[in-house]
Amino acid sequence: MKVHGVFLVAVFFYLMYTLPVNGQPRKDCQTSCGRVTIEYPFGTSQGCYYADDPSFKLTCNETDQKLLFGTNFEVINISHSGELRVWNGVSYACYNSKGDLSDDISYSYSLANLSLSRNNKFTLVGCNAFAVLSTTGTRNYSTGCLSACDSLPPANGECNGEGCCSTDVYVPLDSIEFETNPHGYRELTSVLDFNPCIYAFLAENGTFHFNASEDLKNLRNVKEFRVLLDWSIGNQTCDQVGNRSICGTNNSTCFNSTRGTGYNCKCLEGFEGNPYLSNEHSCQDIDECTTHKHNCSDPSTCRNKDGGFYCQCQSGYRLDATTMSCKRKDFEWATILLGTTIGFLSLLLLISCVQHKMKHRKAAELRQKFFEQNGGGMLIQRLSGLGTPNSNVKIFTEEGMKTSTNGYDKGRILGQGGQGTVYKGILPDNSIVAIKKARLGDNSQAEQFINEVLVLSQINHRNVVKLLGCCLETEVPLLVYEFINSGTLFDHLHGSFSSLSLTWEHRLRIAVEIAGTLAYLHSSASIPIIHRDVKTANILLDENLTAKVADFGASRLIPMDKEQLTTMVQGTLGYLDPEYYNTGLLNEKSDVYSFGVVLMELLSGQKALCFERPLQSKHLVNYISSAMKENRLHEVIDEKVIKENNWKEVEEAVRVAMECTRVTGEERPLMTEVAAKLEGLRVAKNKHQWSDQYPGEETGNLVGVGVLSEQGDTSSTGYDSIRNVASMHVTAGR
């Protein structure tokens, strides 16, 4: 079923430019009807409404004293700002017990130039129904909503689609179509006892509140609702109409209508009245003092002025703008207060300057204290004692280190370990460095820290991580290295980079680079250097997978007149020379043993110590030695290494590793020999042989290293490298 009718939705007025400008009503015009005041530009008779435009004409029904707009709409009130409130009826359709339509009412209007305010809603009340509100005029537009329920909703439920729905209406409409679905309704006759009728209406926002228990029955017998309409003068903006607007006096102003066409008038702030008039009823000054619209704390001090007011204090008093009250003027106290304030601020400034100087001096003393505490004097003494200290080692300031690490931001941490933290730093020239911060509170590492600076200051080799400088002004010392961005060899073999395959060519080249570096340290440096902690975690790889030897904290300089040193045993289990472990005598053959383990890791892809392997094979040396002895070497070599034509090279490399890991240091080759043989293996491609077969007792001697793998509680943590992998002393657990 469809019910059609014209529905009031908008008010639209336009200015007739052929009529006199600023026309005013006659003095004998009717000013009220019942309780409603008739305000110009509206009126009830010719000459009383603006420019005799029928759109502004109202009718007063003298019988019931109702003011009508058009022929059907009762006016509630008129606002100068462009709003008109009217009563508007409800459209409804009622059904009998069989679900047949028994009664319906709709409203039909014929009124041009109307505009519905945005502050209205189109509402449907009823179960299992829908309503459509549409235009059939010059602009096609439809809106509506659907309501459904098969039982009585909660008594104080919201208008959310269960028994009631509502929607906003934004555009002018000149007709309405209200449609229900009687067939669907008839099948649900169980709702008829509490909802015999369906209602549809327009209402001003906030004027209708749904109550299911009452509204579904008979809408509480409400027959009409307030509807808010917009009106304006003409169809031009204030700028377009200029001084031809009908805004009556200098105390009124023009503003563009919110409905999108035409304009309206309003009184300036501090004035009230009808802004469309130019007589005594137009915008007049408000006397705030007599109407109690002021905020003077004492009403007797209020003085009115055009468009406002002011509070006037008597002689000898001043106005407190905060409380709007009068305070006695006291120039003497004001002078004293001002002098006291200036004196206090001056004293405060003096104290602040003294504190700043004291703080600066204290900070300088603290930096000097840290410099000495971190071995600054020892470093200078040892560097000068070497004769030719490395002038490229730069001393960085505390402030420079803090800035380059963004205040030691956690997001800059490259790694952390028991020995300290490594940060990614950005120097003022935008170069990226690695900044190693020693662990707080471990004063025993000061000498190892200085030792690392001392050792690295003597090294200039492409495969050694370059030391750029250090900072001794902080509580814990800092070392600044070149930034190596591709992790450690350990990471590539066992850790986060293990998914990136290292080919046989890569591994052989890396082995040659490490061996060449150690040979340089042992034989070509100005003072021979023993690294003492060679392991895959201390070998960094750059973006080209070039090896960089790092972590010289445990290294030792060997005087020219000595071949070995007696030191506290230090190193990492799995890589530690068993002869050094048993005797405490350190020589270059200790690095040879550690390199042999690194070479075995490169060949097998296995860790130096693995407690998941059988007891006798936990140590990698034992593991490969057993495989070699039992002729199953192919089982322990990394499958990524083996190719169709390189098995002989792999076997020769294994023999090199076996030679390096002999128990007795005298039986091990020199690093220069190891480097030469690996380089020959790399270049000659199987044209040079390593040596004759190993003596039969060799593999048996190697088993002695197994002692290390079963003494996990005999190592201790030593000074760490640029990377955060803890190195181990043999005096505490790893």
Catalytically active residues, by annotation: 533
Give the burial class of 194: count Cβ atoms within 10 A of its Cβ; 0-12 exposed, 13-18 middle, 19 or more buried. middle
Q: In the chain, count of helices (H) and strands (E)?
A: 16, 38
Dihedral sign for Cα 106, 107, 110, 112, please: negative
First CA to last CA across the chain, in angstroms? 89
Separation between Cα atoms, residue 507 and residue 570, nearest integer Å: 27
Task: Supply φ then ψ for residue 523, to 5 degrees.
Answer: -120, -25
Q: Each residue of 567-581: b (16+ CB within 10 Å) or e? A: eebbbbbbbbbbbbb
3-state DSSP assignment of residue 237: coil
Q: How many other C-beta atoms lie within 10 A of the C-beta of residue 105?
A: 15
Residue 366: both structure tokens together: 């603290």
Cβ atoms of 565 and 480 within 8 Å: the answer is no
What Cα–Cα distance (Å) separates residue 566 from each residue in 68, 556, 700?
116, 11, 28
SS3 (DSSP) at 452: helix
Report which secondary-structure segment, H or E, holds 349. Answer: helix 331-373
407: exposed, middle or buried (Cβ count in 10 Å: 0-12, 13-18, 19+): exposed
Q: How far is CA 491 from the centre of its chain?
A: 32
Q: What own/partner pairs with CB < 8 Å and gap ≥ 24 does 57-66 have? A: 58/33, 60/30, 60/33, 60/34, 61/33, 64/34, 65/33, 65/34, 65/35, 66/33, 66/34
Helix (H) or strand (E) holding 60: strand 58-61
CA distance 135 to 4: 11
Cα 314 to Cα 196, 297, 319, 710, distances in angstroms: 74, 14, 10, 100
SS3 719: coil
CA distance 116 to 229: 5
Task: Return the amino acid letter for 221.
Answer: N
- As given in the structure block, the two tokens for residue 64 are 């019931």
The CA–CA distances, whole Å, from 308 to 248, 276, 294, 442 equal 20, 21, 9, 76
H or E segment and range at residue 469: strand 467-471
Q: Give the pairing type, strands 394-395 and 467-471.
A: parallel
The residue assigned the tokens 């359709």 is 93
Please give the helix or strand (H or E) that residue 167 lies within, else none.
strand 164-168
